[in-house]
Structure 1
Amino acid sequence: MSKLLFINASPRGERSHSLSVAREFVRTYAALHPGDVVETRDLFQMALPALDGEVLRVKYNIMHGRESTAEEKSRWKAVEDVIEDFKSADKLVFAVPMWNFNIPYVLKHYLDVICQPSYTFAAGPEGYKGLCSARVFIAYARGGEYPAMGAAQDIYNFQSTYLEFQLRFLGITDIQSVIVQPTLREPEVRDKSKAAALKQAKEIVTTF
């Protein structure tokens, strides 16, 4: 039995193209794998721990082998809980719209909470080593159109490049994705892209 964690980074509900594709992927997966655990984390509804000075003090205490107070440890526990939840999944599905050429701030917050030395990556004389493993599917949506290669991708797309770099940094390399773009163009152009993304997602899910 596997555990799939569906991480929703879109607040737009039924109007969200990334969420629509990701939900269909998860629905199909659940039908194909009725014995698996499927859970959803809506990042706009989660009470993610603030990475303020008190919490970061514990992080640096851990990094430098110093002891933390009981109060500091109790606040750090909220960070550990998010990390444990993330690492408990064998498979991860993300719904990710593009915001200002990047990912939504709640997803950046989530990744900042998860990306912690000795928990999700190790650092040493030989460099970094990711400590996580999972299969990943990502449904992206973008208002504009950014080719897979070329100047537009290099200059404007910090969405997939950042997210996938961060996942690989944590040790997660099995990543597949689809893209709905350009969502701000005329409906027939948008809908054609969405139909293609849904078709591709249904092909990916059969072996996910």
Structure 2
Amino acid sequence: MVVLPLHRCLVFRSLLHSPRGVSGSHAAKESPAVAWAAERGRQPVRGCLRLDSYSTKSGIAGVAERTLIAVKPDGVQKKLIGQIIQRFEQRGFKLVAMKFLKAPEDLLARHYHDLHKKPFYPNLLRYMSSGPVVAMVWEGHNVVRTSRLMVGDTNPAEALPGTVRGDFSVHISRNVVHASDSVDGAQREIQLWFDRRELVDWECCDHSNTYQV
């Protein structure tokens, strides 16, 4: 990273906005850092005053990763929706979709397809269709892995205090919330629960404070 004093930055800016750029005699007299700045075009140089309008684009890989979080019927009955949303907001993730619904059995059957041979599968579908759920899509860096840690172990008896299940659940059959277990799984589940038009792309005002490096 090149960090230069302010007067050098202003020289860079003047040259970059000049019709001649840094060609000819200017280029011959300037250091390799000037040539590097010219190649960067109009992008601001780190260490300089940011004279261009502030950009919230971070360039960090995985910032737009998304996961499905669903408050299950017992979580809704316990009136935990607001507290669960608050935890994800306070962590810094961005909500891009949410719906309150009583899930149809065919949707639940597709969602839990991998468990259809398990002995508890019929009871699972009965439980998940017993009342409304809140399905949400959250976006952020490593949101899938982080959400799993925030939610806690599937068995509440093994979930750590401070996790959703560790704080609000006592039995594996009523563990309050669902969280996608992988990036691929999250993509599949989001497509099941939401139409593409229901996912809202928007710029969060604290995005730069969270991700700008």
The interval holding the TM-score normalised by the smaller chain is under 0.3
Greater share of strand: 1
Please say which structure displays the higher CA radius of gyration. 2
TM-score w.r.t. the length of structure 1 is 0.25
TM-score normalised by L of structure 2: 0.24
